[in-house]
A and B are shown apart, each in its own frame.
Chain A
Amino acid sequence: YSTFPQSPRWKKEDVTYRILNYTPDMLQADVEEAIAKAFHLWSSVTPLTFTRLYSGQADIMISFAAGFHGDFYSFDGPGGTLAHAYHPSSGIGGDAHFDEDENWTKFTNNGFNLFLVAAHELGHSLGLGHSNVYGALMYPIYMARDTRDFRLSQDDIDGIQALYGPPRESPALPTKSFSPQEPTEKTPAKAPTETSPQEEPTETTPSKTPIRPQDCDPHLTFDAITTLRGETLFFKGSYVWRKSPYFSDIEHDTISSFWPSLTAGFDAAYEVDKKDQVLFFKDHQYWAVSGYSIEPGFPKPIQNLGFPPSVRKIDAAVHDQNTKKTYFFVGNKYWSFNENTQSMERGYPRKIASDFQGIDHTVDAALQKNGLFYFFHGSSQYEVDIKNKKLIRTMKSNSWFNC
């Protein structure tokens, strides 16, 4: 964590705040709830109390504005800078400004979650600077996360308690349910925000994160593989191996470093290059991304693609850039999906072995590269020329990693 130079802080514990205006993107009640919930996050780990004022000068004045808005830091339109806030002091000190050119929401997709951004900005209003701990609330980059049971990271708590110390009496139990600090005037208690059906799944945080296998481990297997803008991404658990024509080494990443709100453990993935779109499959749902951004309206059920209800998940998928067909592999069968008509082709499913020479087992992952197909099964991969229905060779799954 960090603080501002000379670590400015409020020299009192009862800090006041006032909401000066609202964004048209959200119900006023949802804005008020997001702000109150954000204050509650900080009051639950410090002796601070936050009281809402409805007129006059409060310590922390909260407003929405676009472009130039009267301070030296104009906003920059959609994306880029989302908001900023000033460290504790008189006048503009403590104030938090939100860029009205953004799309504010109480969900975690289709825009920026106001609670998450407000909680971050109020950290500044209380005296915290940015943290370089990935996943900390005070990390400078926005990360869409499940807000239902959001918790400060230890780094955030260490930082704010370095300024204000711990709460007076430690709550018997961590306050799970959110009860906003009583404002000066009664506002009707609000039901906790219901989650939208499109609410991103909570990040599965395995109790013990398995370590990344070695690149050249001869037993290495993959969950899913896809191309992406000329690169190739190999997925296993939460890990990504990235092979790019733009740099020689294999880059090691995690799914959350590209798509923080997607859960680990894809079943399948494929790229529709013409649409600059990659689709990820997990259990009975699928997501579409373009670069880093998840397309609105996802996840969707896989039945949307035309699978019968009996199909609860798929093993692998690969898009044939020549025929514009996508092949989905489930058990010992496969489907052919026409990307142009967005519908499953008639006469499917068919047996994999009858059309893919030499592939007489299930498929973990599939890839098309330079016109040839690669089918991965366990630690082996099979290079197939499907035009001539010929199995060319069998290799280790990680032969792409210059082992």
Chain B
Amino acid sequence: FPVVPEKEKEDKQFAKKYLESFYNFKEEKNSFFKSENLNHMADKIREMQSFFGLEVTGELNHKTMDMMKKPRCGIPDIHS
């Protein structure tokens, strides 16, 4: 359901943590990999959307955020 706008930054942070926990996302700490990070995060968002049968957009749309916020098991959905 709709997300209040100013929460978007918060949501991005939440999503990053979610993808690190469950989709083995590792953010490059080095800042000049920024654009690479964004692509890498979009890939991981696509992986999560595909797992849950959501529309695969690579973007943090409301359905994707909703799914990330549902209570769940702490084990990753994919294994490295």
Contacts and interface: CB of A to CB of B under 8 A. Distances in A.
Interface string B21-34: 11000000000000
Contact of B71 (A134, A141, A229, A244): A141
A81 B72 contact: yes
Contacts of B71: 79-82, 102, 112, 141-142
Interface string A110-124: 001000010011001
Contacts of A99: 74
A231 B2 contact: yes
A82 B73 contact: yes
Interface residues of A, number: 36
A132 interface: yes
Interface residues of B, number: 22
A292 interface: yes
A87 B57 CA distance: 32
Contacts of B21: 81
A247 B2 CA distance: 10
B1 A231 contact: yes
Contacts of A130: 73, 75-77
Contact of B1 (A2, A85, A141, A228): A228
Contacts of A228: 1
A120 B52 CA distance: 17
A140 B66 contact: no
Contact of A141 (B63, B70, B74): B70
A308 interface: no
A366 interface: no
A292 B62 CA distance: 13
Interface in B20-78: 21-22, 51-53, 61-63, 66-67, 69-77
B38 to A, nearest CB: 22
Contacts of B9: none
Contacts of A229: 1-2
Given A81-B72, A112-B71, A134-B53, A140 B77 contact: yes
A140 B68 CA distance: 11
A75 interface: yes
Contacts of A120: 73
Given A129-B75, A247-B61, A251-B63, 20 more contacts: A5-B79, A73-B74, A79-B69, A79-B71, A80-B71, A80-B72, A81-B74, A82-B73, A84-B74, A99-B74, A112-B71, A120-B73, A124-B73, A129-B77, A140-B22, A140-B73, A140-B75, A142-B73, A229-B2, A231-B2
28 contacts: A2-B79, A5-B79, A79-B69, A80-B72, A81-B21, A81-B71, A81-B73, A82-B74, A83-B74, A84-B73, A84-B75, A99-B74, A117-B73, A121-B73, A129-B75, A129-B79, A132-B51, A132-B52, A134-B53, A140-B73, A140-B75, A141-B52, A141-B67, A141-B72, A142-B72, A229-B2, A231-B1, A251-B63
Interface of B: 1-2, 21-22, 51-53, 61-63, 66-67, 69-77, 79
